[in-house]
Amino acid sequence: MIRDDCLDEEVTVEFFKRLSRKGVPRDARGAECFAFDVIKADPDVFVCKGPFVPDGVFVRLFRVECISDLRYRLPEETLTATGVNHKEFVDSLPDEDLQSLTDEYDGPIKLGNQIDVVWVTDFERVEPLFDDFAGLLDRLGWSEAASDMGRCVVVAYHREQVGRTIHVPRSLDAMGHPEFDVIEDCSAEMGMTKPITAPREMGLPEAVHRGCTVVPSRWEMRRIS
């Protein structure tokens, strides 16, 4: 785990207490797995503990999704109604079927990773950058661009849809997230993405919230290049 001086001391102490109960890891990967297990077992205690993101920003939240991830983002009943199996999502779903599940679909979407964290950026900041979509993905640090037949899905939704508070990301939220840099300013109002090739200062605002189901205001397929 990367050193994070801004985490609440109580949370840090509890985390290491539970980690020590796991025993001695065999190697660095083992240590990472132990840490992940601790957080996964009790995300209420460990994730989204950074400061609140103020109300005036992140009014609409934005994410990019891999096509192959739609198999667990879309509700089971949508998958069963169309009969699209997971293999198709990974390597062969035709554009027009995909568009039915994205551009024409206006139902709920499930968000959240294994430790119940959703990484988002501020839609108002990214919308003007849509013309250079590949550049936007680079600035977001979105490393999955090469996969999924050059396609992805963009998701935008209103903050009130989340039903949970929005937080500045801290290191425990970023367990297993190599693209994350610890925010050293403890009073920062938001985090910042880590661009892949663009200069560091071109990173975009970044925040986290707990897993939830939302009805997006924007949910559409995009070609990456």
**Dist CA 19 CA 98 (whole Å):** 43
Beta carbon of residue 9, minimum distance to another protein (angstroms, whole number): 24
Binding letters toward another protein, positions 66-105, x by CB under 8 A: x-xx-xxx--xx-xxxxxxxxx--x---x-xx--x---x-
Q: Could you say which of 153, 172, 175, 192 contacts another protein (CB under 8 A)? A: 175
Cross-strand pairs, 111: 212
Beta carbon of residue 107, minimum distance to another protein (angstroms, whole number): 12
In this structure, what token pair is assigned to residue 204? 């975009």
Q: Could you say which of 4, 32, 124, 220 contacts another protein (CB under 8 A)? A: 32
Residue 67 DSSP one-character state: G
Report the residue number, 86 or 223, with the smaller CB distance to another protein.
86
Give the CB-side neighbour count of residue 95, counting CA atoms within 13 A. Answer: 6
* Run of H or E residues at 222: strand 218-223
Q: Could you say which of 7, 74, 109, 115 contacts another protein (CB under 8 A)? A: 115
37 in contact with another protein (CB under 8 A): yes
Which residue type does 174 have?
Answer: A
Quick one: which segment of 61-69, 130-138, 158-166, 214-222 binds another protein (CB under 8 A)?
Answer: 61-69
CA trace torsion 165, 166, 167, 169 (10° rounding): 130
* Run of H or E residues at 139: helix 133-140
Quick one: which segment of 28-36, 131-139, 156-164, 182-190 binds another protein (CB under 8 A)?
Answer: 28-36
Residues between 181 and 220 with contacts to another protein, criterion CB under 8 A: none
CB 109 within 8 A of CB 162: no
112 in contact with another protein (CB under 8 A): yes
Beta carbon of residue 216, minimum distance to another protein (angstroms, whole number): 16
Beta carbon of residue 144, minimum distance to another protein (angstroms, whole number): 7
How many other CB atoms are found less than 10 A from the CB of residue 58? 24
Nearest in space to 157 (alpha carbons), one of 91, 59, 81, 73: 59
**Dist CA 176 CA 63 (whole Å):** 18
Quick one: which segment of 111-119, 123-131, 156-164, 216-224 binds another protein (CB under 8 A)?
Answer: 111-119
Beta carbon of residue 109, minimum distance to another protein (angstroms, whole number): 11
